[in-house]
Amino acid sequence: MADSVGRSLPDGDEALRVAMVEALRAAGSVRSAAVAEAMLTVPRHVFAPEATLEEAYEPERALVTKRNEYGLAVSSVSAARIQAQMLEQADVRPGMRVLEIGSGGYNAALIAEVVGPEGEVVTVDIDPFVTERAEKYLAEAGYERVRVVLADGSAPVEGGPFDRIVVTVGAWDLPPAWTGALVEGGTITVPLRMHGLTRSIAFRREGERLVSVSATVSGFVKIQGTDAHDEFLVLPRGTKEIGLRFDELERPDTSRLGGVLDTPRAEWWSGVTIGNQEPFDSLYLWLASSLPGFGLMSVDPELDTKTVAPANRMACPVIVDGGSLAYLALRKISDDPVTFEFGAHGFGPEGGPLAALINAEVRRWDRDHRTSSGPVFTAQPIGTSNDQLPDGLVIDKSHVRLTISWP
């Protein structure tokens, strides 16, 4: 058996590629013939030789290629589902010039397949381990025409302007070099973090501003280099059992939270229900857009004393005001069909009112935004005055003023 450029394939590779693409089509991640053909053509296993063939072609599996000293992934071949979604979002077309921020090789090869021999692909990474691997495996897979650059992805890159920029690392900000590298009307597709929540957003350039054309839930390893940004972590009990994370430059005063979780827990329920497996990712973004003092709560399962019962123990909306806090909660109210009710738990002297505030916003989301297409995201240079911004929540990053505008 051989692939499109005549190389011999390991047994089962072609069948695994076909099965992967069929699964991605069924899930709606692959929608176009161009993306399907690229994923059928590029040998994904070549770019992650550490994985077994079966692992390489599992649609939901990210293939970690490097970890830091704490065991956290700092480089990976992202899950095929995520890569397919981003390629569809980016709307890459034949003959385009494309810049990829964050390398690895496989995604750049997919882009090269879509743009064809008349197009150009440049892939950039700050880590020489990553760029050396990318160059090696791109050559092995037959994509030497992809230019691999070792550089900080936030800095200008030679070869522009580009029709498309695809960012394959989690970004907290939008450096001016990215907007400046885009042609007018070109798009940048980027996993952007806002209040700790990441959305893969396709922005179109309109002069000096970027306006979203689509957004999906996404997750990537964090960007390194000049524009790396760490969240602010608060441990209200002094241990790693419960952590509160705040992601923006402006964050609430958390100095009075000591002992707050030793106070009685107030429970308030909204009357808004959700079925088992029914998605509600837009709720988190709505709460981040509408609630002051917003952050995310996480609970270490090995240290959990059941003091708190958040709706999501990995990353649950929480709000803080002085010496009080409240977080989103869920309770099962029916077994057949399985149905849950949204609510909130509060701690501290104002815990009850904070929980009631969360419930009020849950009800607003249910009434006005649950079935909507979601918000529009607009990014403008950091010096833009308030009267030039659209209505909505404004988040000031280091380089841009990001506005989240709900219909």
Looking at the annotation, which residues are catalytic? 78
Nearest in space to 116 (alpha carbons), one of 33, 38, 185, 14: 38
Q: How far is residue 362's CA from residue 280's CA, in Å, rounded to a whole number? A: 11
User: Encoding tokens for residue 386?
Assistant: 């308030």
| Strand order from edge to edge, sheet including 324-335 | 232-234, 242-246, 294-299, 316-321, 324-335, 338-347, 266-275
- In degrees and rounded to multiples of 5, residue 125 shows phi and psi of -150, 150
The amino acid occupying position 315 is A
H-run or E-run covering 187: strand 182-194
Helix 80-90 vs helix 13-27: crossing angle, to nearest 10: 60
User: Encoding tokens for residue 11?
Assistant: 């047994």
DSSP per-residue letters across 51-113:
S-HHHHT-TT--EEEEE-TTS-EEEEE--HHHHHHHHHHHT--TT-EEEEES--SHHHHHHHH
Q: How far is residue 235's CA from residue 226's CA, in Å, rounded to a whole number? A: 27
* Cβ burial 188-207 (10 Å sphere, 16+ → b, else e): bbbbbbbbbbbbbbbbbbee
- In degrees and rounded to multiples of 5, residue 132 shows phi and psi of -65, -45
Q: How far is residue 65's CA from residue 343's CA, in Å, rounded to a whole number? A: 40
**Which distant-in-sequence residues (6+ apart) come within 8 Å of 199 by Cβ?**
191, 192, 215, 216, 217, 218, 285, 377
User: Encoding tokens for residue 138?
Assistant: 């791109």
Tell me what percent of the chain is helix, strand and coil, each rounded to the nearest 5: 25, 35, 40
**Which distant-in-sequence residues (6+ apart) come within 8 Å of 168 by Cβ?**
78, 83, 86, 100, 101, 102, 103, 104, 107, 191, 220
